[in-house]
Structure 1
């Protein structure tokens, strides 16, 4: 049965889309389960980072199960029903996409909604909406241009062509490339580095960068000074500075 597998590795939650026969396509039930799992992770202070990946080595996710979409066409463009695909961008908890294979349609939406993208060399990205008569939604128009040059984003969306891993790295959409099968290992390495740091500071960084992307430098500048003043008197700043002076690893709350 198609499912999303969840496992914990310390403060890291790993979610694996498990529908290999259909290139990890999302059924309605899987979409709902993803939403629940991400909401639970956001509410759990012990979860310091979420890593999303696909089962096997062929696909991160090919998006919605098209057989279900044919029976329920409105599902494809319903913002509330598709909210789990864009949830990573709204979370304070950092998220990493370990793109182990094709990331098309909804799979692309999930990848672009994450904060970091690690990509296996055999992976590729595609937004087939224009070829299917469907407007690319879920951040493909509103968020993608913040992650790559706008001209490249237009070409990708308007042609629907597949963008390979190396090309995605070249335009800045992907953070790191790995050998096939290595995306999850690299993602876990980064997740552990993030999880070792102050969660409130990491959340502040994510919020400030999002403000910059949506509202510009002035909004981000106002936020960083106000939030910086608030956090510098907090317990994590006290612990971090003491740990540095005492030459030990910090133990953040």
Structure 2
């Protein structure tokens, strides 16, 4: 497992747990954190033993947004040599790395579950939109504050938010720049569950275990199809659903799932 000084990587059974670990800065996104996230998503994609991912933050915070100074220092072509700084070298080698890390230009094939405590604002809310399932502690705070500073939320929010929550709520969040409580975020559909403070990670891990118990080929195909059909007409989407879904019925895992149901035992899926 990888990780950096600002991103902790752990295993909890078949779940990869990525923890934003810069609590003194309310887990503002830094170069080491972005590199760690990028590598964490890659590890989950490449390791078939990983069936789900939980993303959380250390020290009672999720993420307070981008450390703009750190990101500016990472961009190639700024006149400063990257040699000797492993993180700047990574950014120089892949100028798209930060967008992949933020899940703007990358979608992990495994389900990503966010466990949010405390602030999840600006870049934190943008990162959140790249996750699939979301749990928040009661004191969590959300919001896209960029317009308050004359900035633009280029992490994907003007495209994704209107597709994830009703347009009027998305535009209110984008245009007012005001904070949202966890309960309000739940009401508008930005998060799925609100739990007592300090228990978001526990709930996320419980949800991950439910995901992990299912057929991995089926889970990954369902996630991919749900996203890939989003921009299609209903007829196009239904056609793609058959294209993606029907082959699953011919897998050994599908046969095992049916057999286990008949025999009243937990299935043993082998990704085959």
Q: What TM-score results when the alignment is normalised by the length of structure 1?
A: 0.92
* Runs of 4 or more above 4 Å deviation: 69-75
Asked if structure 2 preserves the Cα contact closer than 8 Å seen for 1:38 and 1:87, the reply is no
| Residues 25-74 of structure 1: CA deviation (Å, up to 9, x unaligned) | 111121112101111111100000000000022x1001112443565789
Q: How many residues align?
A: 250
* Native 8 Å contact 1:49 1:191 kept in 2: yes
The whole-number CA distance in structure 1 between the counterparts of 2:119 and 2:106 is: 20
Residues 88 and 95, structure 1, Cα contact 8 Å, conserved in 2: no
The corresponding residue for 2:58 is 55
Q: Does structure 1 conserve the Cα–Cα contact (< 8 Å) formed by 2:44 and 2:108?
A: no
Q: Is 1:95 the equivalent of 2:112?
A: yes
Please tell me whether the aligned partners of residues 89 and 115 of structure 1 are also in contact (alpha carbons under 8 angstroms): no
Q: Is the 8 A contact 2:100 2:106 kept in 1?
A: no
Q: Which aligned pairs between 1:1-253 and structure 2 lie closer than 5 A?
A: 2-57=5-60, 59-69=61-71, 80-86=97-103, 90-253=107-270
Please give the secondary structure, in 1, of the residue aligned with 2:98: coil
* Conserved? CA contact 2:99–2:105, under 8 Å: no
Alpha-carbon distance in 1 for matches of 2:155, 2:212? 27
Q: Structure 1 pair 69/232, CA: closer, same or farther in 2 (3 Å)?
A: closer
Instruction: Indicate how the Cα distance of structure 1 residues 71 and 207 shifts in structure 2: closer, same or farther if over 3 A, else same.
Output: closer
Greater Cα shift, 119-128 or 88-97: 88-97
Distance 1:209 1:145 in 2: 16
Q: Distance in 1 between matches of 2:122 and 2:100?
A: 14
Deviation per residue, 1:153-174 (Å, 9 max, x gap) = 0110111111110011111111
2:117 touches 2:137 (CA, 8 Å); kept in 1?
yes
Larger Rg: 2
Q: Please state whether the residue corresponding to 2:159 is helix, strand or coil.
A: coil
| Equivalent-residue separation in structure 1 for 2:233 and 2:128 (angstroms) | 23
Once the 2 structures are TM-superposed, how far is the Cα of residue 88 of structure 1 from its aligned partner? 9.0
1-structure distance, mates of 2:174, 2:96: 19
TM-superposed CA distance for 1:218, in Å, is: 2.6
1:104 Cα deviation after fit: 1.1
Are the aligned partners of 2:144 and 2:178 in contact in 1 as well (CA < 8 Å)? yes
Provide the C-alpha distance between the structure 2 equivalents of 1:111 and 1:96, rounded to a whole number of angstroms: 9
TM-score by length of 2: 0.86
Contact 1:209/1:220, CA 8 A, preserved across alignment: no
In structure 2, distance between residues paired with 1:132 and 1:123: 22
- Supply the RMSD in Å over aligned alpha carbons: 2.0
Contact 1:62–1:102 at 8 Å: present in 2 too? Answer: yes
